[in-house]
Amino acid sequence: MNIDMNKIKDKVKNNLNPVNWLEKIKEMPLTNKMYYSKVLVGIVTGIIFGVTNFRNWPAGLTLLGVFLLLSSVWFLIYRNKNTGLKARSFYTSAIFQFFIVTIAVWTLILNMLYIPETNWVYDFG
């Protein structure tokens, strides 16, 4: 095993440099359009739906509608630049990324804000 410690130190030093972090944050939506934009929008919508504390079907359907609308608009804009299989594969991966992040954040916030009543212990009688 030949490990070059200087390379490791340089990598750690570059990762801890605040200027590099600022550059990465500025370039976030540009590095991979579908990934970061979908994840950021997913986090925002998850926070909105989590804070409003919806628990019923209309909230889920609204979330699905917002998700499909944003994904479709993004796909139509992006399709003009890249056509064919590449755009379709980006679109499908973006759908799953957005959906998973939104549901994860939404569930997390719901669990933090809403604790259901636990009367099941007394329902046996």
- Domain residues of the chain, as ranges? 33-115
pLDDT value of residue 1: 53
Residue pair 98/38 in contact (Cβ under 8 Å)? The answer is yes
* DSSP classification of residue 120: G
pLDDT value of residue 54: 54
* Spans of the chain below 50 pLDDT: 29-32
pLDDT value of residue 11: 77
Taking the complete model, does pTM exceed 0.85, yes or no?
no
Angle between helices 33-52 and 85-113 (to 10 degrees): 30
In 1-122, alpha helices (H): 5-16, 18-26, 28-31, 33-52, 57-79, 85-113
